[in-house]
Structure 1
């Protein structure tokens, strides 16, 4: 596993963004783990988060694109942080863009924040986590309505590796439906492998009991 992936797993735990226990998801599923990217709130956390996204985007898509699009609301700080990190780490100037939930009719009017989208732009979408793919159903037509752009791919922080709306993972369904790649900084299998029965700062985060609960969860909800 790449070094930045190992560091990112530790970063999620340190930031209390990735938690283990018993949680009820928006989908109604009872999950033994929960990830909330809204937990990244400090300047240092956002800087580091942007760097991890930048490295994963570079590994999966290269730097041959023009715009990083972060859907409102959680995608807004993600797109800003990752755009800054790409500039800092790789010397590549790309533009950030996000949508507004409410169209503004005065001043800086329209549905977009940041850069406008132009015909020919190559776009990478950035999100926190995708469980069902419903967010892309909302985001895709918004982007396509702005200009004739090429969407190169989607990057999320964690692939939960669960069934989407069918039997396959949400990321696999997105690729099949929309024709662009969907990737994550890390997937849940990598998280489990890295933390299982491994002390981190004096604590075992995934012990035998939790590992069994995770295995049972994936027997029911795991993607085929």
Structure 2
């Protein structure tokens, strides 16, 4: 029997076992419908289960590149199990809710970050159930980009999934099913027309696009990063449970070192403006590096390079400050063009990271949306150099291996008299997508800098853990 005849047989069998019903029903998406699908009954019909498995394997699974299959709980689990056995591929199981004991995992099974997973589902209306599974897989660092479906209701689910980078393949569409049932005298012309009118006039609600990196842990993102410094920073954040960067905007090297000695245990990154230090010396650099190693943080020199490539190369590796010798990462503008990244990339042989300024937090700055987009595009050619972006918007970039460094954070929203706008931890982390948050005067000017650093550290980390739980939107 050829493929099309098998599909016809499946449609007729689904109607025969009452998995397809006609009347007045309500879908999970809250839509009234003249046709309802209850594919849970197929578990009582081994022949139907076998036919569905054979068709899905022949139709899509056999020609796909993947490491695992995962059924959307619960109806698709038996089919996913049979497909896993037939294809001799690993199966993963997604829980509806995490266990309250043991590992508390949402995804059961053995897998590696970056593995590809096929999603198996019975019926798609809006695609929301598929996206729930996709999101949980992606939080674990798995690639979930294909969904194989028994029946597509043709009410917007395909488009919703595609907008979230999930390609959907369906054995049957509602249109095809109705044609088969009508041709085989299983339904009347009137019923067929009612369903056709319904399909034309009723669409499922859209599914919100998901920014994957918002839900991935720092540990998972470290594995996905192509920049050595970004990997280090992600792992430091995870180990120390802090995503706080302290901007030590002081002019005295002694005061800077004293401050870092007090708060270094609570930060992942120290940001310097070396050219404002009035008593800069090699001794200061040695002491700063010693503290970085002792207290486990990285050093960011916020130089904001913005000259032609040759000049920037000299600014980075020569002169009084010789930044390349001691800073783990630096900031730079994209304004001069690609040459500035080429220069920094070839300036030294040590691991280095660059944070490109894609947006600024100062009121009235002249950076446009087009400028931001071109900055992100320019960075794509230098994946091993780019540590992250200095930006304010979670949608500025998608790559989960890159860090969003966000300045302008205070425990309460405010604005200074020079136009610097400050936002709360909740807004910066949960709404704006910040990964590492920069705090300066909020800690530096505090009466007790260590107590204040702990307050910021705890508030920012709490927001991060809430964000990756996926329960904040």
User: What's the TM-score once normalised by structure 2's chain length?
Assistant: 0.39
> Does structure 1 residue 57 correspond to structure 2 residue 60?
yes
Give runs of aligned pairs for residues 141-152 of structure 1, distance below 5 A.
141-147=135-141, 149-152=142-145
Q: Structure 1 CA distance, aligned partners of 2:6 and 2:114?
A: 32
Give runs of aligned pairs for residues 1-224 of structure 1, distance below 5 A.
2-42=4-44, 43-58=46-61, 62-85=63-86, 87=87, 93-104=88-99, 105-106=101-102, 110-113=105-108, 115-147=109-141, 149-162=142-155, 169-176=156-163, 178-196=164-182, 198-199=183-184, 204-221=185-202
1:90 aligns with none
Per-residue deviation, 1:141: 2.1
Q: Structure 2 CA distance, aligned partners of 1:156 and 1:24?
A: 20
Q: Deviations over 1:182-210 (max 9, x none)?
A: 121111111122222x33xxxx2221211
Q: Which runs of 5+ in 2 are unaligned?
A: 205-473
Q: Which is richer in strand?
A: 1
Instruction: Please list every run of at least 4 consecutive aligned residues from structure 1 whose deviation after the TM superposition is greater than 4 angstroms.
Output: none
Q: How many residue pairs are counted as aligned between the two chains?
A: 200
What SS class does the counterpart of residue 60 from structure 2 fall into? helix
Per-residue deviation, 1:95: 0.9
Q: Structure 2 CA distance, aligned partners of 1:24 and 1:152?
A: 29
Per-residue deviation, 1:211: 1.7
What SS class does the counterpart of residue 157 from structure 1 fall into? strand
1:44–1:102 Cα change, 3 Å:
same
User: What's the TM-score once normalised by structure 1's chain length?
Assistant: 0.79
Per-residue deviation, 1:28: 3.5
Per-residue deviation, 1:222: 5.2
Q: Structure 1 CA distance, aligned partners of 2:116 and 2:13?
A: 30
Per-residue deviation, 1:22: 2.6
Q: Deviations over 1:85-109 (max 9, x none)?
A: 3x3xxxxx21111112233324x76
Larger Rg: 2
Provide the alpha-carbon RMSD of the alignment.
2.3
